[in-house]
Amino acid sequence: YYMLFFAAMSFLITVGNIVNGLEFSYNYKWILVCLVSFVFIVLALITGNASAVHRVALYIIVWGILPLSGFTSAGLVGPSLAYTFLLLIFVSYVMNGWERIFLSFSVIFINLVITVAFLKHPEIFKTMDPQEQIFDWLVTVPVASVFMSFLLIVFERAYEKERKLNMDKTDRLRELSYTDFLTGLYNRVHMEEKLSLVHNIYTRTGSPYAVIMIDIDFFKKYNDVYGHPAGDEVLKKFSRILKNRIIRNTDWIYRYGGEEFLILLGFSDEKAALVVTEEIQLDLKKENIPHKASLIKPYLTVSIGIAAADNTSISPKDVIEFADEALYRSKEKGRDIITVYNSANWN
């Protein structure tokens, strides 16, 4: 965009100078800027590497065209030095790091040199009568300002688009860091955060939460008989069952490890958790996934343990351990069973 800006601005100023009868030598610098800009536009299109081409172009403009145009202008009498500072905007947008600092100071330094040269040796600069001065200010400055305003709008939109894209990428990376690759469920990193959150709410307000631990029965035997790819499909299918059943934004599903899953139910007690797990077992039974290696049923089943926070002195780790103990008890009882941990009569 900015090379097109230079080309268009230079062309319009040249046309204006010709129409109003200014000495043609005033146009040499503008013709040069226009030609150089078009060359770099073509190079950017051909190479497909606009960033590198733009960087090279800025070096040429700052260290080549800027001093050349400055010493062939009317110095401080005309507006040339005033709008050369517009280069600082382009430098800030295109360059990064030390190059941005170097070229920014280069623009300032070159303008200072031209200013000092004009004050000490004004005879080396072009002269303008009052009418030419007025015209030069009235034509070049408005043209440059209009194009600059347009370009700033383009830059702002490009920046906003890039910022949104970066935010989307950051959100996506954050989501990936929280997600199990195979099942698409959350992982333990996410679980630690949410478990701490709901436990803090519980200790402050007394709002209960429950932890459900689920284990697919005889999953190793399933893999041995049907193969690991089939086992992966079972994990994904069961994950979809859980996602369809757990839909509140205060509940989260995790792949806890291997064939184990954990569900965190915010603002729920063990009774609510029991209802949810019974529905999950029914959903899985409807799928009727064959499991001829199972020692209890000809289809896939799960064992489940439930624990709820019932004492503000316990920690989140305790609740998970209680749910794990309940799950172990379900396996001991013969699997395909739901066990609710009860601290009052647990032994």
> Active-site residue numbers?
259
Count of Cβ atoms closer than 10 Å to residue 200 Cβ? 11
d(CA 69, CA 61): 10
Count of Cβ atoms closer than 10 Å to residue 296 Cβ? 14
> What is the full DSSP assignment across 220-248?
HHHHHHH-HHHHHHHHHHHHHHHHHH---
d(CA 34, CA 259): 67
Whether the CB-CB separation of 118 and 75 falls below 8 Å is answered with yes
d(CA 127, CA 218): 95
Whether the CB-CB separation of 268 and 210 falls below 8 Å is answered with yes
d(CA 30, CA 6): 9
Phi, psi of 39 (to 5 degrees): -60, -45
Indicate the SS3 state at residue 109. helix
Which two tokens mark 336? 């395909």
Place of tokens 């860091």: 177
264: nearest Cα among 242, 281, 236: 242
220: nearest Cα among 256, 188, 258, 192: 258
Count of Cβ atoms closer than 10 Å to residue 145 Cβ? 12
